[in-house]
Structure 1
Amino acid sequence: MSVAPLSYEKIRPAFCRFTPAEIVKTLNDFVIGQQTSKRAVAVALRNRWRRKQITDSDLRGSLTPKNILMVGPTGVGKTEISRRLAKLTEAPFIKVEATKYTEVGFKGKDVESIIEDLYVASKKVAKTLLERHMQSEINVQVEKVITSSIAMKDGISEAKARELLESGQAEDKLISFHVTVIQEEEKGKKGPGLPFHLGDVDLTGEGFTFVLTQDKDTMKQRAPTKTHLTEKVSVARGHIEKDVKARMVSQVAIDNLAKEVCEEDGIVFIDEIDKVVLPRGEKRTEGNGEGVQQDLLPIIEGSVVNLKNNVAIRTDSILFIASGAFHACKPSDMIAELQGRLPVRVELQPLSEADFFKILTTPKYNLIRQNQALLRVEGVELEFTEKCIREIAKSAFEINRNAQNIGARRLYAILERVLEEISYDVEKYKAQKSVTVTAEMVKNALKDFLRKIDLAKFIL
């Protein structure tokens, strides 16, 4: 049994209907400040939904996403905004670094592999959506298999077995069942410079021999085999559900939906775009720089990218978000055509001391709560005074201002240093059960580091 072809519109996540204000409100729970950037991505997302509501197909086809360029220092939330947006909408999302790509014709990855990676992410999203849509039918089939197995083992009617199952009395019963297993032949290691894989290697006293097998795009699948298992119902349910999903949601259905998901809701975040931009007047190097920008143009503007297995992806409606610090160059140093493909430009501001304090306290799973949860596993309750948290925020701001500015990532380094002794000698603190981290502890942990920064000012 397999699911019939479904329209993406029928199973599209409800999150796609969020208003811009609702999207920004949700992003505020995870990213502090940067309201301009949040508003820009929220409007871009909402415009996708608005486009879908237009009944005139010609007009709808002419509407394309307004791609975004985020400009700002590292660690201020550029990537996090895009990642949270993708999670919120359950859209396929990939983050790539512009520096990994080279101009077509040179050794290295070319930019079309971006769309290949996005299609792979879209398959995962499509599989999740189809399984969720079919969940009620899947549950019925799983119950049938378990009920039949209980009835057969205990010699009772299926109606009686169903009663036991629904009442929860059958969870510890052992049942026997079959699941289908598709084993994949593992590829050997690919030799350098060869279009072949090293296959079976036989290490013997005579030296070693190996078999060369031609490289394939995908692993070769053996014929499905049925495996007999005996487990408690509570454990068996997971195995059976996985087996039923594999039968009801076919790979063909996933691939077909993935194409639509990729084209309609895909989000590509291109980080470090400034690293392939040369300051005006500087000589370009072969293989990257301006050549990579030129290769990005057709994909961002809208074209058809042909992938493996005869899959063609149109990029017209894919949302591209590029970001960079632009320390050594300016956005205006990009080639003019690429600037035109990224019409919405937002500047993210450096984080203030107040922002650092909010980062430590406002998000639901902030860094303070994360560290408390880690030590709670060891039986130690970690408490932070407000003065302590403000001292951490102040230290992060001062170190970023006087040393290299790495944004919110500085908080990770500071907390690791402050909690290093407690984390290492945790056995010593178990008897106390509770440890309070104070502002003095923060100052003592960072004094050597702060002294090095002060001395660095006098080094020529």
Structure 2
Amino acid sequence: MSKKEIALTPKQIVKELDKYIIGQSSAKKNVAIALRNRWRRMNTKSELKEEIMPNNILMIGSTGVGKTEIARRLAKLADAPFVKVEASKFTEVGYVGRDVESMVRDLVEQAIHMVKVQKKEEVREKAEGIVEEIILDALIPPIKKTPARTGFQSASETNSFENETAPKTDEELNEKTRERFREKIRNGELDDRKIDIDIKAPSNPGIGMIGGGMIDESSMINLQDMLSGMMPKKSKKRKVTIADAKKILLDEEASKLIDFEEVKEEAVQKTENTGIIFIDEIDKIAASSNKQGADVSREGVQRDLLPIVEGSSVTTKHGVVNTDHILFISAGAFHVSKPSDLIPELQGRFPIRVELDNLTESDFLKILLEPKNALTKQYEALFDAEEVTLEFTEEALKQIANIAFEVNAEVENIGARRLHTVMSKLLNDFLYEVPDEIGPNAKLIITDDMVSEKLAGLVKNKDLSRYIL
């Protein structure tokens, strides 16, 4: 478990989530408890450690109220591998779709990436030294040292050795030149100079069908990896700037320094103990009471998901992963169906049910003002890149929140995503005019009158298909 996660109590987790998500205190409280319970299980001295199962969560709420964002921010907070999947992508055997086990494989790949990044950071300093030597060799190739001479030395040779400031041999002159260039490389003075470097490109054999039939995803991955390992790695020469060479070679050399077997072992443990899988649109696979046609297929998807959520062993190319302690968070709007339409076994695997509230007009205003990544701050950053200052008056923000709320009520409730539609409609003309007509050092102040003018008719017009994201 990460140190960051260990340090956070449930209240602190909620406080961190509050920085990005407005409202939904019940959902935040439940995910905070679920996250802290993982640390509690890992640190318990009880013999029941392996018996303590995570309380999976079912989030019920309209689109755009923060379901996905809560799960994503929670994973980032915990430094945990995270995968979002849509339940409708999975189908039972006989229908076109993805194998349900693929979400666990995707989670392992996320964990592998996270562990590799961590390991590469640990060996970064050593890798930078190796890269420096490679670039230096390309600029100033080293001269092999000649054997030292012994025996009688002439007077002129003796005098030259007394002059310690001058290079004694070609090798020493070469070394002094290399040291000067080493300093220039470190200071970035040569970043624009181009050099030739060798880059190893791994072979990637393409396999489609074997024996006239398609093979399953797991076997395909393993077979491709095996053949890729057997094929000789090709090396190609590229002419790149020293700045680019530093990035390319650093990644390559750092990869050579880390033990990939250790990475795989840590990644599997990280997946099993801290992994989070977010299953979205679970309401789309809820079957109605009249089980005919498509409903049979939906129930089949649920039965395929059941063993993964219950806890089973999944074979991946990095090893066998046990899903017993992976935290599953599912979400759905449940406008047409209801949670009780899910098969009882699957319902039982999501004991914590949280209903997320629809966003009010005041929530929209808070979303525009409070989060660290508020939409207003994002647009201010975009204009700042053109050296243009963007400001919103308080009344303008209230007007934007009011229009977003009304459009959701009149047309279709897409939650906070409606603000993207409204803000885009409001600011697109200005974004188009910068920098041609609105030059650097200009100041744009968005007033309530300007909002009313730009968004006139947006609420009245019932046919808003071109504005809906």
Which TM-score tier does this pair reach, normalised by the shorter chain? 0.7 to 0.9
Letter in 2 for 1:49: W
Decide whether the 8 Å contact of 2:199 with 2:237 is kept in 1: no
| Distance apart, 1:173 and its partner CA | 4.8
Aligned partners of 2:309, 2:64: CA distance in 1, in Å? Answer: 25
Between the aligned partners of 2:71 and 2:354, the Cα distance in structure 1 is 13
Cα distance in 1 for residues equivalent to 2:438 and 2:195 = 50
CA spacing shift, 1:166–1:26, aligned 2, 3 Å: farther
- Please, which moves more after superposition, 71-80 or 417-426? 417-426
- 1:217 partner letter: Q
Who is 1:322 aligned against?
Answer: 330
* 2:83 aligned with 1:94: yes
Matches within 5 A, 1:58-457: 58-139=47-128, 141-142=130-131, 152=142, 155=172, 170-173=187-190, 181-186=199-204, 217-218=224-225, 220=228, 222-224=231-233, 236-281=245-290, 283=292, 285=294, 288-308=297-317, 311-426=319-434, 427-430=436-439, 433-453=442-462
1:19 corresponding residue in structure 2: 9
- Normalised by the length of structure 2, the TM-score is 0.80
1:178–1:227 Cα contact (<8 Å) kept: no
Structure 2: distance between partners of 1:455 and 1:417: 12
> What is the deviation of 1:236?
4.5
User: Quick one: which amino acid aligns to residue 250 of structure 2?
Assistant: E
Q: Contact 1:165–1:171 at 8 Å: present in 2 too? A: no
Percentage identity across paired residues of the two chains: 38
> Does the CA contact (< 8 Å) of 1:270 and 1:320 recur in 2?
yes
Cα distance in structure 1, aligned partners of 2:6 and 2:125? 23
Flag the 1:73–1:431 CA change in 2: closer, same or farther, 3 A: same
Structure 2 CA distance for partners of 1:409 and 1:159, relative to 1, 3 Å: same
1:97-146 Cα shifts (integer Å, max 9, x gaps): 01111123433223122112212212111212222344454456556667
Letter in 1 for 2:402: K
Flag the structure with larger Rg: 2
1:128-179 deviation line (CA, Å, top 9, x unaligned) = 2222344454456556667888794894697997798679875325899997
1:54 paired residue number: 44
Equivalent pair of 2:195/2:241 in contact (CA under 8 Å): no
Q: Are 1:279 and 1:328, in contact at CA under 8 Å, matched by a contact in 2?
A: no
Instruction: Please report how far the alpha carbon of residue 447 of structure 1 lies from its aligned counterpart in structure 2 after TM superposition.
Output: 2.2
Q: Relative to structure 1, is the Cα distance of residues 169 and 344 closer, same or farther in structure 2, using a 3 angstrom cutoff? A: closer
What does residue 33 of structure 1 align with? 23
Equivalent pair of 2:387/2:440 in contact (CA under 8 Å): no
> Structure 2: how far apart are the matches of 1:268 and 1:53?
22
Q: Does the C-alpha gap of structure 1 residues 146 and 351 become closer, same or farther in structure 2, counting only changes over 3 Å?
A: same
Match of 1:212 in 2: none
Contact 2:400 2:422 in 1 (8 A): yes
Task: Indicate conservation of the 8 Å contact 1:164/1:170, yes or no.
Answer: no
CA distance in 2, matches of 1:148, 1:15: 44
Alignment match, 1:208 = none
**Would you say the 8 A contact 2:203–2:232 is kept in 1?**
no
Q: Give, as a single letter, the amino acid of the residue that structure 2 aligns with 1:181.
A: I
Distance 2:349 2:56 in 1: 7
3-state secondary structure, aligned to 1:74? coil
* Residue identity matched to 2:201: Q
C-alpha distance in 2 between matches for 1:109 and 1:131? 32
TM-score norm. by structure 1 comes to 0.81
> How large is the RMSD of aligned CA atoms in angstroms?
3.6
Task: In structure 1, list runs of 5 or more residues that go unmatched.
Answer: 1-8, 197-214
For residue 437 of structure 2, give the secondary structure of its aligned residue in structure 1. helix
Give the number of equivalent residue pairs. 427
- The CA deviation at 1:29 is 0.8
* Matched position secondary structure for 1:261: helix
Instruction: Give the CA deviation at 1:194.
Output: 6.5
| In structure 1, distance between residues paired with 2:125 and 2:94 | 51
Q: Which moved more, 1:312-321 or 1:229-238?
A: 229-238
Which residue of structure 2 lines up, in the alignment, with residue 3 of structure 1?
none
- The answer (yes or no) to whether the contact 2:411–2:464 under 8 Å persists in 1 is no
Supply the distance in 1 between the matched residues of 2:269 and 2:174 (Cα, whole angstroms). Answer: 46
